[in-house]
Amino acid sequence: MRDLGVYFGTFAPCHVGHFEQIVRAKRENTRAVVIVSGYEGDRGDLAGMSLVNRTKSMRELLKDDDNVTVMKLDETDIPKYPAGWQPWLELLEAHIIEGAGEFNSVTFYVGEDEYIEPLNTYFTAQWPDRDIVITRVDRRITGISGTSIRENPIYNWDYVTRPFRRFFVQNVLIIGTASTGKTTLTRDLARRYSTSYSLEYSREYQTERQVKDDELDIKDLQAIGIGQYEVNRKHIHSPGTRKVFFADTDVMTTKLYSKIYLSDEDYQKIAPVFDFYISQQTWALILLLPPTTTYVDDGFRDMSQADADSRNKMHQMFLDELEEHGLMERTVVLQGDSFQEKYEEAHRLVDELLAEGKDN
- pLDDT value for 355: 81
Give exposure, 64-98, as e/b (b: 16+ Cβ within 10 Å). eeeebbbbbbbbeebeeeeebbeebbebbeebbee
Same domain, 186 and 118: no
State the Cα–Cα distance between residues 211 and 125, nearest whole angstrom: 70
Same domain, 221 and 131: no
Counted residue by residue, the chain has a size of 360
Instruction: Decide if 89 is inside a domain.
Output: yes
Same domain, 185 and 43: no
- pLDDT value for 303: 56
- pLDDT value for 141: 62
Range of the domain at 224: 169-356
Same domain, 140 and 183: no
Q: Looking at residue 137, which CATH number applies to its domain?
A: 3.40.50.620
- pLDDT value for 140: 66
Same domain, 57 and 133: yes
Number of independent structural domains in the chain: 2
Same domain, 7 and 61: yes
- pLDDT value for 139: 67
Query: pLDDT tens string for the chain (360 positions)?
Result: 899 999 999 999 999 999 999 999 999 999 999 999 999 999 999 999 999 999 999 999 999 999 999 999 999 999 887 778 999 999 999 999 999 989 999 999 998 889 999 999 999 999 999 999 999 987 666 678 888 999 889 889 999 999 999 999 999 999 998 888 999 999 999 999 999 999 999 999 999 999 998 899 999 999 999 999 999 999 998 888 999 999 999 999 999 999 999 999 999 999 999 999 999 999 999 999 998 755 444 444 555 666 677 888 889 999 999 999 999 999 999 998 889 999 999 999 999 999 854 444
| pTM for the whole structure | 0.83
State the Cα–Cα distance between residues 360 and 342, nearest whole angstrom: 20
- pLDDT value for 359: 45
Helix %, strand %, coil % of the chain (to 5) = 50, 20, 30
Q: Looking at residue 201, which CATH number applies to its domain?
A: 3.40.50.300
Same domain, 140 and 176: no
State the Cα–Cα distance between residues 44 and 341, nearest whole angstrom: 40
Same domain, 11 and 145: yes
